[in-house]
C-alpha cells in the first residue's frame, strides 16, 4: 500500500511539474506580443563550397512592429506581426505555436512542402512553431522545447529547412534552401530571434552548402509610439486575414505533400489576396476556392477520407 502511495505521489508531482512548465511556455510565447523597435541583422561568415566568396558587408535594417495575439486556444497560439513603415502598414509574418504537435510541415525546396509524422514520445513537452508567409501560406515549421531561467525563456528549434528569405529571393539564384537553427529568447526588454543558417544547394542531383550565415533579429519593447494606423488596419482588414488563415487550413487539411504555384491567371498569390482584401470580398469558402488554384497536390498525397 505504501509503495502504491509513493508511486501515486511521484506521478502527481510529475504531472504538476509538467503543467507548471506548460504554463511557463505559454507565458513566454504570449510575451512576444506587443509594440517593438525591431532590428534585422544578417551576415555571411564562412564559405563552404570551393570557389564561393562570402558576401561582404551585412544586411542591416530596422522598423517598428506590432505583434498581436490573434488566436489563443490553450495548446495553440497564433501571433500576427504588423510592420509600420513610413506611416504605412505591411502585414508581415505569423507565428503559429502548437503544443506536442505530431505533424510537422517540412519545406523540400522549389516551392514544395511535405508533412512529416512524429511520434508522441518524440514531441512530449515540446512546442512546434509554424511561420507563415505574408499571404498566410505556410513557410516553414520546426519544434523544440522551452527552457526557462530566472528572467528569460529560450526556445531552440531543430534544424529547419526554409525557403529563401525575402531579403534574397529576388536577388539570389545560387541556392535553394536555408537550413536554419532558430533560437528565440524572451527577455525583460523584449525578445531576440537568433539564427544559425546554412545556404544549401539542392538541384540536379546535388546537395551541398554554399556558406554559413548568422542572423540576429532584436525586438525591443517601446512606449510612446503611435501605432494607431496599425490598430486601424487590423480593425478594417483583420477579419479578412483571419478568414484567409482558416481558408489555408481548409485547403491543406489531409494533404501530406503539395507544391505552390507562383502565379495563375489571377496573378501572384499576394496580388490575388490583396485584391480581395481591398474589396473586402469573400468568405472562408470563397477564399479557399481561390487559394486552391495555387496548390498542386500529387494524387497519392491526399489522405483517405480527408475530402
Task: Supply the pLDDT for residue 19.
Answer: 67
The C-alpha cell of 133 is what?
A: 508567409
pLDDT tens digit sequence for 33-43:
999 999 999 99
Q: What per-residue confidence (pLDDT) applies to 307?
A: 46
The answer for residues whose C-beta is within 8 angstroms of residue 232's C-beta and 6 or more apart is none
Q: Is residue 262 part of a domain?
A: yes
Give 29's pLDDT tier (boundaries 50, 70, 90): very high
What does the alpha-carbon distance between residue 148 and residue 90 come to, in Å, rounded to a whole number? 32
Reduced to 3 states (helix: H, G, I; strand: E, B; else coil), residue 48 is coil
CA torsion 260→60→182→132, rounded to 10°?
-30
Residue 188 resides in a domain: yes
Greater pLDDT, 244 or 299: 244
At 2, is the pLDDT very low, low, confident or very high (cuts 50, 70, 90)? low
Say if 30 falls within a structural domain.
no
> Is residue 19 assigned to a domain?
no
pTM over 0.85: yes
Residue range 254-305, pLDDT digits in tens: 999 999 999 999 999 999 999 999 988 778 999 999 999 999 998 755 554 4
Four-residue CA torsion sign, 142, 217, 199, 155: negative
User: Count of domains in the chain?
Assistant: 1
Q: Say what the pLDDT of residue 11 is.
A: 44
Residues above pLDDT 70, as percent of the chain: 91
pLDDT of residue 246: 96
160 part of a folded domain: yes
What's the mean pLDDT in 107-127? 97
The DSSP result for 77-124, as a single string, is: EEEEEEEEETTEEEEEEEEEEEET--EEEEEEETTEEEEEE--TTTTT
Residue at 306 is within a domain? no
Which pLDDT score is estimated for 158?
A: 95
Domain annotation covers residue 35: no
Rounded Cα distance between 295 and 307, Å, is: 15
pLDDT of residue 280: 80
**Structural domain that includes position 203:** 40-301
- For all residues of the chain together, what is the average pLDDT? 92
Please give the Cα distance from 101 to 99 (Å, whole number): 6
Bridge partners (DSSP) of residue 91 are: 82
- Predicted pLDDT of residue 290: 96
What per-residue confidence (pLDDT) applies to 303?
Answer: 54
Query: Vertex 171, ends 170 and 175: CA angle to 5°?
Result: 95
In a domain, 28, yes or no: no
Strands 76-85 and 112-117: unpaired
Say yes or no to pLDDT of 7 above 90.
no
DSSP H or E stretch at residue 236: helix 228-252
**214: CB partners within 8 A, 6+ apart:** 42, 43, 45, 194, 195, 196, 197
Report the pLDDT value the prediction gives residue 27, as an integer from 0 to 100: 98
List the single range of 7-16, 59-68, 124-133, 233-242 with lowest mean pLDDT.
Answer: 7-16
Beta carbons of 108 and 162 less than 8 angstroms apart? no
Category of 37 on φ-ψ map: left (φ > 0), alpha (ψ -120 to 50) or beta: beta
pLDDT per position as a tens digit, 204-233: 999 999 999 999 999 999 999 999 999 999
Amino acid at each position: 500500500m505504501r509503495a502504491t502511495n509513493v508511486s501515486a505521489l511521484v506521478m502527481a508531482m510529475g504531472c504538476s511539474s509538467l503543467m507548471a512548465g506548460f504554463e511557463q511556455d505559454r507565458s513566454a510565447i504570449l510575451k512576444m506580443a506587443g509594440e517593438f523597435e525591431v532590428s534585422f541583422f544578417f551576415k555571411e561568415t564562412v564559405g563552404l563550397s570551393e570557389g564561393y566568396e562570402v558576401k561582404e558587408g551585412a544586411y542591416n535594417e530596422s522598423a517598428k512592429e506590432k505583434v498581436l495575439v490573434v488566436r489563443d486556444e490553450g495548446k495553440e497560439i497564433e501571433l500576427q506581426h504588423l510592420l509600420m513603415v513610413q506611416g504605412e502598414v505591411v502585414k508581415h509574418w505569423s507565428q503559429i505555436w502548437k503544443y506536442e504537435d505530431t505533424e510537422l510541415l517540412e519545406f523540400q525546396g522549389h516551392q514544395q512542402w511535405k508533412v512529416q509524422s512524429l511520434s508522441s514520445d518524440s514531441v512530449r513537452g515540446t512546442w512546434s512553431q509554424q511561420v507563415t508567409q505574408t499571404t498566410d501560406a505556410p513557410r516553414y515549421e520546426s519544434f523544440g522545447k522551452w527552457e526557462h531561467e530566472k528572467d528569460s525563456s529560450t526556445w531552440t528549434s531543430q534544424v529547419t529547412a526554409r525557403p529563401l528569405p525575402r531579403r534574397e529571393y529576388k536577388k539570389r539564384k545560387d541556392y535553394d534552401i536555408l537550413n536554419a537553427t532558430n533560437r528565440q529568447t524572451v527577455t525583460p526588454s523584449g525578445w531576440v530571434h537568433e539564427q544559425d543558417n546554412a545556404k544549401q544547394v539542392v538541384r540536379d542531383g546535388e546537395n551541398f552548402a554554399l556558406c554559413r550565415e548568422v542572423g540576429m533579429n532584436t525586438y525591443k519593447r517601446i512606449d510612446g509610439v503611435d501605432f494607431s494606423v496599425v490598430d486601424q488596419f487590423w480593425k478594417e482588414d483583420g477579419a479578412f486575414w483571419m478568414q484567409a488563415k482558416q481558408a489555408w487550413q481548409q485547403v491543406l487539411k489531409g494533404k501530406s505533400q503539395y507544391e505552390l504555384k507562383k502565379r495563375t491567371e489571377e496573378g501572384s498569390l499576394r496580388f490575388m489576396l490583396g485584391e480581395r482584401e481591398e474589396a473586402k470580398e469573400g468568405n472562408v469558402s470563397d477564399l479557399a476556392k481561390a487559394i486552391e488554384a495555387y496548390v498542386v497536390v500529387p494524387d497519392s498525397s491526399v489522405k483517405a477520407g480527408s475530402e
